[in-house]
Amino acid sequence: MPLTRKAYRAAILHSIADPAEVGIEASYEYFEDGLLVVDNGQISALGHASELLASLPADIEITHYPDALITPGFIDTHIHLPQTGMVGAYGEQLLDWLNTYTFPCESQFADRAHAEEVAEIFIKELLRNGTTTALVFGSVHPQSVNAFFEAAEKLDLRMIAGKVMMDRNAPDYLTDTAESSYLESKALIERWHGKGRLHYAVTPRFAPTSTPEQLTLAGQLLGEYPDLYMQTHISENLQEVEWVKELFPERKGYLDVYDHYQLLGERSVFAHGVHLCDDECARLAQTGSAVAFCPTSNLFLGSGLFNLPMAEKHKLNVGLGTDVGGGTSFSLLQTLNEAYKVMQLQGARLSPFKSLYLATLGGARALRLEERIGTLQPGTDADFLVLDYNATPLLSYRLKQSKSIAETLFVLMTLGDDRTVAQTYAAGNLVHQR
Ligand code: GUN
Ligand code: ZN
């Protein structure tokens, strides 16, 4: 194959470590006038433009983005495809919200054409917001996942998804059985897992909607294939936590239910974890599991405030999730805006570099994909963004007052949203242009 080489010149910033582990200054690299070189969909060089340009052939194609910042693509570690049409549903907390709005909305995915239409809208929305990788809940219908992966494959995106497994405590029109969920998940795994940049996640919705038999089979699937993901919800809402205790009185607590059915591990991502206790954080960390912190959802559904410092104390992997449609925005910039406030309400700080880490490398580590995505290190996939300093008049004026990249970054995360993302590249291809 002939080499296709392109270079991009702009201010360039990426996270290279967790600020909680190495301190803020050692956690990032910033090139005020940087150059990113991409060969055949992968990053081949990153550095100061003045230094790199001297080593490159004079005729190399360079795209210059003045007044913009290149960052890695954002990683959303928790989102629901079939809830795209119900963002901003009024008035309820988790359990009533599920029954009143979520289940009826997800039932529309029984129609294949609907699934395909929403999958296209959903992927466009991810890319418009700079999300290049997401860990995605489908609906209970296998065709939700087929429609999603078909759309993602066309653009060569790195995506992870799974069909929801739920065989109780949900309307009949939306339940599977332990056996059908096993067989349907297996067929999806055979078709999609490891195809191009796609991966499969075994997806029991949450403990209350699965029988012990279904949870057993979910654990069995994880043992049958290498590198499968597992995604579910945990300890989001206090009523939910009480309900799990009633449904599984023989278990020590919510996490112990999943632990018993062998659902913890290095590719397991638990959404929310707002009401986890110290011991549960320790057990999650010990098993290499990750938590998806979903601030816009936790505030919108009145679920509570995620205790990030406690997770950090246990060295627990944490990624950021939008949790659309419980969450109110596809934008990880807006999600970070709310994450900052969640920390403020607990008397804690979220530095802009920790935020950058959560949206990129932290998410990649939660998904065990840090060798491929989450940074701009040479050898990784060329999934990156061009963030426009002049996206809105207010952003433009505000950033003119900025005295540092830290301030610029924080303002981007406070005022930024989909308008800020001028271009999105995946595997070196331009997949969104504002
Ligand atoms: N718990 C179980 N299902 C869901 C869901 O769809 N959204 C959220 N936020 N929590 C859940
Ligand atoms: Zn969710």
pLDDT by residue (tens digit) across 191-225? 999 999 999 999 999 999 999 999 999 999 999 99
Stretch 363-378: mean pLDDT: 98
Same domain, yes or no: 66 and 85: no
Res 58: pLDDT:
87
Whether residue 11 is contained in a domain is answered as yes
Whether residue 189 is contained in a domain is answered as yes
Whether residue 101 is contained in a domain is answered as yes
Whether residue 368 is contained in a domain is answered as no
Query: What distance in Å separates the CA atoms of residue 38 and residue 55, rounded to the nearest whole number?
Result: 15
Same domain, yes or no: 168 and 190: yes
Same domain, yes or no: 99 and 68: no
Res 1: pLDDT:
66
Task: Find the ligand nearest to 299 CA.
Answer: 1
The answer for 41, left when phi > 0, alpha when psi is -120 to 50, beta otherwise, is: left
Of the residues 267, 301, 330, which one is the last residue of a structural domain? 330
CA of 302 to the centre of ligand 1 (A): 13
Same domain, yes or no: 35 and 117: no
CA of 245 to the centre of ligand 2 (A): 20
In short, whether 206's Cβ falls inside 6 Å of ligand 1 is: yes
Task: Find the ligand nearest to 92 CA.
Answer: 1
Same domain, yes or no: 379 and 322: no
Whether residue 109 is contained in a domain is answered as yes
Residue 422's domain is classified under what CATH number? 2.30.40.10
CA of 241 to the centre of ligand 1 (A): 13
Instruction: Mark the residues whose beta carbon lies below 5 A from ion ligand 2.
Output: 271, 323
Query: What distance in Å separates the CA atoms of residue 114 and residue 117, rounded to the nearest whole number?
Result: 5
Under DSSP, the state recorded for 101 is I
In short, whether 78's Cβ falls inside 6 Å of ligand 1 is: no
Whether residue 54 is contained in a domain is answered as yes
Q: Could you tell me the pLDDT band of residue 350, with boundaries at 50, 70 and 90?
A: very high
- In whole angstroms, how far apart are CA 22 and each of 25, 307, 353? 8, 20, 12
Tell me which residue range forms the domain holding 34.
5-73+375-433
Task: Find the ligand nearest to 78 CA.
Answer: 2
Same domain, yes or no: 68 and 118: no
Same domain, yes or no: 187 and 101: yes
Percent of the chain whose predicted confidence (pLDDT) is above 70: 100
Same domain, yes or no: 28 and 131: no
Whether residue 117 is contained in a domain is answered as yes
In short, whether 297's Cβ falls inside 6 Å of ligand 1 is: yes
In short, whether 236's Cβ falls inside 6 Å of ligand 1 is: yes
Tally of residues, the chain: 434
Res 210: pLDDT:
98
Indicate the pTM of the whole model.
0.99
Whether residue 110 is contained in a domain is answered as yes
pLDDT reading at 3 higher than 80: no
Query: What distance in Å separates the CA atoms of residue 342 and residue 331, rounded to the nearest whole number?
Result: 17
- Other Cβ atoms closer than 10 A to 24: 14
Stretch 7-36: mean pLDDT: 98
Same domain, yes or no: 134 and 261: yes
In short, whether 102's Cβ falls inside 6 Å of ligand 1 is: yes
Same domain, yes or no: 234 and 139: yes
- In whole angstroms, how far apart are CA 180 and each of 33, 110, 188? 55, 15, 12
Are the beta carbons of 71 and 128 closer than 8 angstroms? no
Give the tens place of pLDDT for each residue, 261-312. Answer: 999 999 999 999 999 999 999 999 999 999 999 999 999 999 999 999 999 9
Query: What distance in Å separates the CA atoms of residue 395 and residue 415, rounded to the nearest whole number?
Result: 7
Residue 290's domain is classified under what CATH number? 3.20.20.140
Same domain, yes or no: 86 and 58: no
pLDDT reading at 109 higher than 80: yes
Of the residues 267, 295, 330, which one is the last residue of a structural domain? 330
CA of 267 to the centre of ligand 1 (A): 19
Could you tell me which residues are beta bridge partners of residue 426? 429
Instruction: Output the residue whose Cα is nearest ligand 1's atom 1.
Output: 233
Q: Total structural domains in the chain? A: 2
